[in-house]
Amino acid sequence: MPLDQTLAGAVQGAVFGLFPLMWIVVNALWVYRMTVRTRHFDILRRSFGRLSDDPRIQALVVAFCFGALLEALAGFGAPVAISAVMLVALGFDPVRAAVVALVADTAPVAFGAMGTPVVTLAQVTGLPLDSVASVVGRQTPLLALVVPLVLVWLVDGRRGLRDTWIPAVACGVAFAVARFVASNYVSAQLADIAAAMAGAAALVAVPHARVPAPEAVRTSVLTGSRSEELDEEDPRREVVRAYAPYALIVLIFSVAQIPVVKDRLAVATRKFDWPLLDVAAPNGEPVGANVFTWPVVSTGGTLVLFAGVATAAVLGLHARVAVREWLATVYELRFAILTVTSVLALAYVMNLSGQAATIGYAVAAAGAGLAFLSSVLGWFGVAVTGSDTSADALFGALQVTAARESGLSPELLAAANSSGGVLGKMISPQNLTIACAAVGLAGREGDLLRKVLPWSLGLLLVMCLIVVGQSTFVLGWMLP
């Protein structure tokens, strides 16, 4: 590949990493930082603590439901760190809190950071976003049925599973249904938000979730001391304001999906030939990457920015302080921005130079076994990079090429890369380090790895079997 084409492709990949990808993450994390600045996040935390005194239910509310909401807004380790700290404040042992937070941060990852992984997957593979999101939305909900039961087991073993399986199943089913509906019929960016809220609503609605926990359970599970701050009473008005940022995001994204509004937002989208980039496919036709599409207003990051401005107003944050928090967010994410832009630059060069296609042709030799191995490849990518977005950027095009060569569905294998990748998140060095640092276990990453690795491998096997089934008549009916 000529040097000028290589550099042009790399720059385009880096620009895509900045906008729309990190543009989404920065604005989403900005919303969270504003709630911390105004102490409304503490109010939200106390609100969760009052939902139930049963630590097994608290693990579902905090790690699974609220963790999914944080994954939807920020991703990149924030759900693990925040959920683990909240569980320790509720009295959980630090090791147990870290393990629960790591395992819980699986089901929501594919649609994390306002759908960033699937947006990246669609971009690097050339597949329609709706098609990719639809298939991922028919794979990961099956994980959501299992993960709440795993969390209850991690908290209290067989007794926890026996006593609280009904709330766990209700939470998982609500999460799965909402994820499926949102990803297939509403918006990929809203999939995690809708699922998190549906799961939490199911827990609140199920009577079993509100039954006080036996003292024997609390004594054996809560080995730490509960934070006295959790017993503070908050005015109802402030509780409403604490939930308002998330409601605003849902409202703005929902309005943006109305056909008239959607068309109006799309007017600002710009397309132009990328300078110095002129790559042809094997048939001599120009590839789509020669043209760069810039969705100025319709992209998720801009919609979250609108929600952030509204959040600042609702929380009573001065404009100067809000801007300062936005700049602080950019500074906090500086290394993540560098990582994502670098990975996307590499991915674009690999795709445009034909490297991904060449490897894909080789991988296609696996034949029918490719359906099983596709999730493993995504799992490996996330385990190494710590990011489903990065794994999709690196291996998405490879999966599509291999699928076409072997006669399998490109959408199925591309989705399998992302769906399998979420299960590598809990064993990635990045997430293990974040979890240890959050609960004061620095240097014990190896201990956590030994505890979560069996769950990662077990759930990966489940996902591999799901993809194999979807590639045949057994579960093929599940695909759109």
Tens digits of pLDDT across the chain (480 residues): 899 999 999 999 899 888 877 787 788 778 888 988 998 888 887 887 677 778 889 899 889 998 888 788 766 666 887 788 778 877 888 899 999 999 998 888 888 877 888 988 998 888 999 999 999 999 999 989 999 999 999 998 899 899 899 999 999 999 999 999 999 998 888 888 889 989 989 988 888 767 777 777 777 777 765 556 666 788 889 989 988 987 888 788 778 878 888 888 888 888 889 988 888 877 788 877 788 888 888 877 888 899 899 999 999 999 999 999 999 989 988 877 887 788 778 878 887 888 877 776 776 677 668 888 889 888 888 887 667 887 888 788 888 888 888 888 999 999 999 999 899 889 887 678 778 877 777 778 888 999 999 999 999 999 999 999 999 888 889 888
Q: Please say whether the beta carbons of 325 and 30 come within 8 A.
A: yes
CA pair distance 179, 335, nearest whole angstrom:
30
Can you give the pLDDT at residue 428? Answer: 81
Query: Which residues does 446 contact at the CB level (< 8 Å), separation at least 6?
Result: none
Percentages of the chain per state (helix, strand, coil), in multiples of 5: 80, 0, 20
Q: Please say whether the beta carbons of 171 and 59 come within 8 A.
A: no
Would you call the peptide bond into 275 cis, given omega within 30 degrees of 0 as the criterion?
Answer: no
Write down how long the chain is. Answer: 480
Would you call the peptide bond into 235 cis, given omega within 30 degrees of 0 as the criterion?
Answer: no
Paired residues of 280 in beta bridges = 286
Can you give the pLDDT at residue 227? Answer: 58
Can you give the pLDDT at residue 231? Answer: 65
SS3 270: strand
CA pair distance 222, 403, nearest whole angstrom:
48
Q: How many helices (H) and strands (E) does the chain have?
A: 23, 2
Can you give the pLDDT at residue 137? Answer: 92
Q: Please say whether the beta carbons of 116 and 389 come within 8 A.
A: yes
- Nearest in space to 152 (alpha carbons), one of 216, 64, 44: 64
Q: Quick one: which H or E segment has residue 291?
A: strand 291-294
Q: Is the pTM of this model over 0.85?
A: no
Angle of helix 300-314 relative to helix 319-332, nearest 10 degrees, comes to 140
In a 13 Å sphere around the CA of 150, the CA atoms on its Cβ side amount to: 23
**Token pair listed for 124:** 């690097």
Angle at 129 between CA 125 and CA 134, to 5 degrees: 110
Tokens 């998405």 correspond to: 396
DSSP category for residue 271: E
DSSP category for residue 60: I
Taking the chain, what is the end-to-end CA distance rounded to the nearest angstrom? 38
